[in-house]
Copies of this chain bind each other. A is one copy, B any other.
């Protein structure tokens, strides 16, 4: 059995894949910026005796627990080695190669934030129509926009270069602070719409908007809520009302729904404007979508693009954990 592991800043995902291709997927909310010392213990729970190889991708090396990516890569690799002392470990890099741990330390920039490359290789080999598509993975925290052109992944390699080229958009389905979407909002005051300032405090996140707009379920809202209160719609509205420095009594249900709609529209615009730039650059109309944000990507893009959903083609589990699934599948088919 191969274990595909994707260690992100906020979530770790693990795919147990048998040699016949059957699989089981685990989603674990595990904030690395405060838990990184516990990573070995977490992973060791999944060290069963029938596992032969570990296929690893990561993004958590960017977490605040580390000053540099190198420090992060080394610490994460040590945790994985300690959790699986008797197994072969392979780390997928941004060029599509599997490296040994010692190779990975030497090439820490290449294994840094390579989880999206695993997904891209998998989509390129199995899904991409006519070898040309844009793969979009909208997770809890970020949205990866990955052009595949003539059967080649032409995306930039580092997060910095991906930000520069509209290929990494730092908005996600759950964890993006509402105030990142806009520092103003239209608000109905004495029957007139006025543009008003909003709070920059960490009061509400995209998870709250997406619950209010019925785009995700309360079970999908797997991260901490900003106020520690439950994920139900009423509490999401309470959190959103704080972004306007009000409470729900003061603002009212109807108006808070209007505010949610506006922030949702800003989220869709941000996605579409970035996808448009990449699509125009490569003249591509086919979009493969995956991740918790699939319904949001559909809202943002269905009018202008041909959309292929991994959730529909496979299932929700694979869509929510594509990099861990993909890296296991890629190692399964690799000779290394």
Contact = CB atoms under 8 A, between A and B. Distances in A.
Interface stretch (A74-82, A97-105, A156-164, A302-310): A156-164
A187 B187 CA distance: 33
A312 interface: no
Contacts of A107: none
Given A163-B198, A170-B198, A203 B250 contact: no
Nearest to A245: B159
A229 B67 contact: yes
Contacts of A139: none
A270 B179 CA distance: 14
Contact of A183 (B198, B229, B270): B270
Contacts of A159: 245-246
A171 B62 CA distance: 26
| Residue of A68, A198, A245 with most partner-chain B CB within 10 A | A245
A242 to B, nearest CB: 7
Contacts of A176: 200
A64 B228 contact: yes
Contacts of A274: 197
A141 B245 CA distance: 13
A217 interface: no
A168 B180 contact: no
A163 B244 contact: yes
A203 B180 CA distance: 13
A141 to B, nearest CB: 7
Nearest to A113: B245
Given A194-B164, A246-B160, A200 B229 contact: no
Interface in A134-189: 141, 158-160, 162-164, 166, 168-171, 176-177, 179-181, 183, 187, 189
Contact of A160 (B68, B162, B228, B250): B250
Contacts of A141: 201
A274 B163 CA distance: 30
Contacts of A270: 183
A89 interface: no
Contacts of A127: none
A226 to B, nearest CB: 7
Contact of A202 (B168, B202, B238, B244): B202
Contacts of A227: 64
A251 B163 contact: no
A117 B143 CA distance: 44
Given A64-B242, A160-B251, A181-B183, 18 more contacts: A62-B242, A68-B247, A68-B248, A69-B247, A159-B246, A160-B244, A160-B250, A163-B197, A164-B187, A164-B189, A169-B197, A170-B197, A170-B198, A170-B200, A170-B201, A171-B200, A177-B202, A180-B180
Interface of A: 9, 62, 64, 67-69, 113, 141, 158-160, 162-164, 166, 168-171, 176-177, 179-181, 183, 187, 189, 194, 196-203, 226-229, 238, 242, 244-251, 270, 274
8 contacts: A9-B201, A64-B226, A67-B238, A67-B247, A69-B247, A158-B245, A163-B197, A170-B183
